[in-house]
Structure 1
Amino acid sequence: MRARTAFIGLLTAGVVGTAVWLVFYSPVLGVRNVEIVGNLTVPADRIEQQAAIAALHPLATVDLAAVESRVLGIRQLATVKAARVWPSTLEITVAEREPVAVLPVGGKAALVDKQGVVTEIRAIGPPHLPVLHMDRPSPTDPVTLAALKVVSTLPDTLSGKVKTVRASSAEGITFGLNDGRTVVWGGADRGEDKAAVLLSLLSRKADVYDVSSPDVVTLK
């Protein structure tokens, strides 16, 4: 009886040991595919290269947090989530940063998202994005962030009309429209109200539209 029990114990240990080896050490359940989800402009092969996972590396021992950290080194990406999909796929889901404005830097056009992060530098900025004019542009500058918040929340019917954005303070944001007219926007508060009032007034001839207080609008 004791011999039988010992034999069963050895057999069980062998099975467990084999399973552990298969999962954690052998290439049998290794990474054979890296699936990229959510990328629109960043090439999948660039993301896979940044993930830096060797083929057939045991899927169970992939450091998902390290993969996410490495892939976030691509500045066009806002979020990264890595996951195991058994038996052999590493899935990397990303969300790209969306440029909302152009910041002139050294004769170039830096595309920035709503958080003030530069996603790309081009020779010329896209014509549909407004150009920012700031004294000290920075992802930590309250004035920059206020202006970007305003720009990123404008309705499509209005955003396409904005050519330039200037801000002397977080409460002193102004727009230059494509046709040369000026909009005094003020701060980032009551954006929906300001946009609705401005759109209703643009048919009236004026050089300056002050909607900083949407309840008391001034045209000049």
Structure 2
Amino acid sequence: MTQTRGWRLVLAPRDAPQSVRRFAKRARQRRLRAALPWLVALAVAALLGAAAVVVFATPVLGVERIDVAGVSTLSAGAVRRAAGVPDGTPLARVDLRAVERRVRQLKPVRTVAASADFPHTLRLRIEERTAVAAVVKVGGFVLLDAEGVGYLPVEAAPAGLPVLRLADPEPGDATTMAALTVLAALPPFLRAVMTALVAESPTRIRLELTGSRTVVWGDATENEAKVRVLEFTQIAPGRTLDVSAPGVVVER
């Protein structure tokens, strides 16, 4: 039978020869050097584990403040409530994309960016919608942005904001988008005398002007040509000018 010789490290007795003690010392040093990387790795792993527990499972680095910037229509409190992040929630565990989705449910919010600012602050940067018109509604108005989103009820149309009459303004709605296209094409001289832009369908748009005057606009095409006609045409009070086909203008 073949025997396998096993080696083991033992301490040399005090009365052992000097050469034996030196050999034993060098052996211990080699063994310690071999084990040192593993000891360091275990220590680092232990530290990382403890740090992870502190960061992800305790309120030591929890949310103490939600900083809201960019709001004027909304209150910072309304945004914080929509964010839905309780005090003390570990900041590293906050799902920033989920927070953004919840805040975007507030209609006045056009965009939102959430970020973590350690150790204790959640930052929310808001871009609110900008009104381009006020749409007549029962009991007041609703502010409408350039994307066709009605986002804020108001009792009265803000000064200087055009008034639209639309049955059901919605983003992507053909009538809403046609009305916004025409509105964007109107120069200041028309906006100054317009009391309302009425859109009954994408092809039935008209301008109501001061002095009981009306401009039949038609659809949202040839807007520049229609504007040029109105630059050089006077409309008498109580009269209607049809520029829906700008090459053939009809007054009645």
- Normalising by the residue count of structure 2, what TM-score does the alignment of the two structures yield? 0.71
Separation in 1, partners of 2:243, 2:121: 53
- Mapped contact 1:36–1:92 kept (Cα < 8 A): yes
Structure 2 residue aligned with 1:187: 219
1:22-81 CA deviation, whole Å, 9 max, x = no partner? 332333433233222221221122212221212232222111122112212222222222
Which amino acid is the alignment partner of residue 125 of structure 1? A
Q: Report if the CA contact (8 A) 2:163-2:197 is conserved.
A: yes
Counterparts of 1:20-35 in structure 2 under 5 Å?
20-35=52-67
Q: Which whole-Å CA distance do the structure 1 matches of 2:75 and 2:94 have between them? A: 22
Contact 1:209/1:217 (8 A) holds in 2: no
Q: Distance in 1 between matches of 2:189 and 2:70?
A: 27
For the Cα contact (< 8 Å) 1:102–1:131, is it kept in 2? yes
Is residue 10 of structure 1 aligned with residue 39 of structure 2?
Answer: no
Deviations 1:1-42 (A, max 9, x none): 354343212211112113322332333433233222221221
1:100 aligned residue: 132
Is 1:67 matched up with 2:99?
yes
Q: Give the drift of 1:162.
A: 2.0
**Counterpart in the other structure of 1:117:** 149
Compared with structure 1, are the counterparts of its residues 210 and 67 closer, same or farther at alpha carbon in structure 2 (3 Å cutoff)?
same
Q: Aligned AA for 2:205?
A: I
Which gives a bigger RCO, structure 1 or 2 (Cα 8 Å, sep 6+)?
1
Contact residue 213 and residue 235 of structure 2 kept, 8 A: no
SS of 1:168's equivalent? strand
Q: In the TM superposition, what is the alpha-carbon distance from 1:116 to its structure 2 partner?
A: 3.5
State whether structure 2 residue 231 is matched by structure 1 residue 200.
yes
1:163 aligns with 2:195: yes
Shift of 1:217: 6.4
TM-score (norm: length of structure 1) = 0.79
Tell me which residue corresponds to 1:175. Answer: 207
Residues 1:44 and 2:56 aligned together: no
The verdict on how the C-alpha distance between 1:116 and 1:30 changes in structure 2, with shifts beyond 3 A counting, is same
CA distance in 2, matches of 1:14, 1:177: 77
Q: C-alpha offsets along residues 65-113 of structure 1, whole Å, 9 cap, x if unaligned?
A: 2211221222222222222234433221222223333333333323333
| 3-state DSSP of counterpart to 1:24 | helix
SS of the residue corresponding to residue 63 of structure 2 reads coil
Q: Answer with 1 or 2: which has the greater Rg.
A: 2
Q: Which residue of 2 aligns with 1:58?
A: 90
SS at match of 2:161: coil
Report which stretch shifted further, 204-213 or 168-177.
Answer: 204-213
Structure 2: which 5+ runs fail to align? 1-31
Alignment match, 2:28? none
Structure 1, unaligned stretches of length 5 or more? none
Amino acid at match of 2:168: P
